[in-house]
Amino acid sequence: MATAAETGPAKVPSDLGAPAERPAPAHAGAAGTTAAGNAAAARWLGLRPPQLALALALLALTLHGALQGRVPQPGPAPWIGGGLALAGLAWTLWAAWLFRRAATPIRPTDMPLVLVDEGPYRFGRHPMYLGLAVLLAGGALALGAPALLLAAMAFVAIVRRVHIPHEEAQLRQRFGGWYSDYAADVRRWL
């Protein structure tokens, strides 16, 4: 496991100086969640966010082809869309690289070992999700495929409802008050 000195300002539980708070309930952050809703969320949780984004993009492009009868062509702003897509990809890869460097699991279902709070994590608590959403939205502009914008919105809705509440409950369980302070200081998206 990486030490705090190796990973910069990231925190590990031993750095907290206080016992972790009790774990948040499994449904934390998902208002109105029922047992059936928890089961459905658990199924979605098994689909990793990059796979989810790819599946939604392929579905959107298939829908576009079925409705338009053609493969997407350059859209109204191919350079702007392409730039957004590349920026989203770079943001996602930067955030993922920081997880790898800190030797903390990247899968949303694994318990985190280190709380990374540097790089893009200074601006938002979920930069990988934001980057994937921007990648999809940029692709919509670049390819002139409005269905990709719908895919981006569906991606945000799913991770907001399923992945984020699960991850934030794990982070509160693992890092206690330190994560609560971080969450109070840093917005969820940007």
CB 162 within 8 A of CB 170: no
* 176-to-15, 21, 39, 102, 160 alpha-carbon distances in Å: 11, 5, 26, 19, 21
Share of the chain above pLDDT 70, in %: 78
Three-class SS of residue 11?
Answer: strand
Q: Quick one: which of 189, 69, 175, 28 has its CA closest to 115?
A: 175
Domain ranges, ordered by start, for the chain: 52-59+75-190
Q: pTM above 0.85? A: no
Mean pLDDT, all residues of the chain? 83
Predicted confidence (pLDDT) at residue 12 exceeds the cutoff of 80: no
pLDDT, one tens digit per residue, over 69-108 is 777 778 778 999 999 999 999 999 999 999 999 999 999 8
The pLDDT, as a whole number, for residue 38 is 67
CB 163 within 8 A of CB 129: yes
